[in-house]
């Protein structure tokens, strides 16, 4: 399932989403000694607090854990239950994240299911700048449900070319994005083709490539699933491996 789809499903667990008073955050950081990426969606409650849901992904292994909980209205105190399923209700949590989320930083301690302290964590919305990034990449990845081919060239943070194709074998529907225009973005590189935007983010040992607002360049059942590109130019889908 695409990242945006299951995150929307998670967010709906806490109630119907408001038309306003919502926010989404993507942050890079670490869980203990391991690099990790976290995505959180929040809906504001009448008391000023926030109902939250999302996930974190341990990047070296692509271990994924789903999150659900709340953030306080004033000091940013945040408690999130953790589980292996997107549906946490009625299931025993595998852990809990307790900390503070304010000024674009989420930090605290992860506890085990029995309340024992496991490890410290810290995430920030400040992704590394990519002004010095240079690479020529052409890679393919996929499985029986999805296939993707990505090709791009960047020199010292300047985009030269970018092409991204995907195909859903079951329907035969495809996406094709060709972008040579670049827009400024903090903590990354952004290539655009009309309303479609492809963003590159530096995650340390890997670069994350993701798309947004690209439906007009895809068949009705096709999509562009986020990729991780390593330093050798190899790519893999940003999801747990089977």
pLDDT one-digit tens code per residue, 201-223: 999 999 999 999 999 999 999 99
The secondary element (H helix, E strand) that includes residue 12 is helix 3-12
- Percent of the chain exceeding pLDDT 90 equals 79
* Contacts for 199-202: CB closer than 8 Å, 24+ residues apart: 200/130, 200/133, 200/152, 200/154, 201/28, 201/127, 201/130, 202/127, 202/128, 202/129, 202/130, 202/133
Sheet holding 181-183, edge to edge: 181-183, 189-193, 196-202, 206-212, 227-230, 235-237
DSSP bridge pairs for 183: 190
Whose CA is closest to 3, among 51, 31, 35, 38? 38
Rounded to the nearest 10°, the torsion over CA 111, 239, 188, 9 is -70
pLDDT tens column, 182-194: 999 999 999 999 9
Mean pLDDT of 29-43: 96
pLDDT(86) > 90 = no
Supply the pTM of this predicted model. Answer: 0.82
Sequence-ordered list of residues with C-beta below 8 angstroms from that of 35, at least 6 positions apart, any chain = 28, 29, 58, 59, 60, 203, 204, 205
φ/ψ of residue 82, rounded to 5: -120, 140
pLDDT tens column, 95-107: 999 999 999 999 9
Does 242 or 91 have the greater pLDDT score?
91
Residue-level pLDDT at 219: 96
Q: How do strand 158-168 and strand 50-58 relate by DSSP bridges?
A: unpaired
pLDDT tens column, 13-34: 333 334 468 999 999 999 999 9
What pLDDT band is residue 81 in, cutting at 50, 70 and 90?
A: very high
Averaged pLDDT score across all residues of the chain: 89
Whose CA is closest to 106, among 64, 62, 60, 54? 54
pLDDT tens column, 126-179: 999 999 999 999 999 999 999 999 999 999 999 999 999 999 999 999 999 999
User: Do the Cβ atoms of 50 and 69 come closer than 8 Å?
Assistant: no
User: Do the Cβ atoms of 179 and 193 come closer than 8 Å?
Assistant: yes
Mean pLDDT of 118-129: 96
């Amino acid at each position: 399932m695409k990242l945006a789809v299951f995150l929307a499903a998670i967010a709906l667990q806490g109630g119907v989403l408001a038309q306003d008073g919502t926010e989404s955050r993507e942050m890079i950081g670490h869980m203990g000694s391991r690099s990790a990426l976290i995505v959180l969606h929040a809906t504001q409650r009448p008391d000023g607090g926030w109902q939250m849901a999302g996930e974190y992904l341990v990047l070296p292994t692509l271990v994924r854990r789903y999150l659900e909980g709340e953030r306080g209205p004033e000091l940013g105190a945040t408690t999130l239950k953790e589980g292996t399923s997107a549906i946490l209700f009625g299931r025993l949590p595998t852990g809990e994240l307790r900390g503070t989320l304010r000024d674009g930083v989420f930090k605290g301690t992860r506890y085990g299911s029995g309340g024992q302290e496991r490890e410290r964590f810290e995430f920030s919305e400040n992704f590394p700048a990519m002004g010095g990034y240079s690479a020529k990449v052409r890679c393919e990845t996929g499985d029986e449900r999805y296939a993707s081919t990505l090709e791009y060239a960047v020199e010292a943070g300047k985009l030269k070319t970018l092409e991204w194709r995907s195909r859903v074998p079951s329907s035969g529907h495809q996406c094709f994005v060709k972008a040579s225009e670049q827009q400024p973005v903090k903590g990354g590189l952004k290539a655009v083709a009309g309303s479609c935007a492809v963003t590159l983010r530096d995650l340390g040992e890997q670069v994350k490539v993701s798309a947004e607002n690209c439906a007009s360049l895809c068949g009705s059942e096709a999509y562009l699933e986020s990729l991780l590109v390593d330093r050798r130019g190899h790519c893999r889908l940003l999801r747990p491996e089977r």
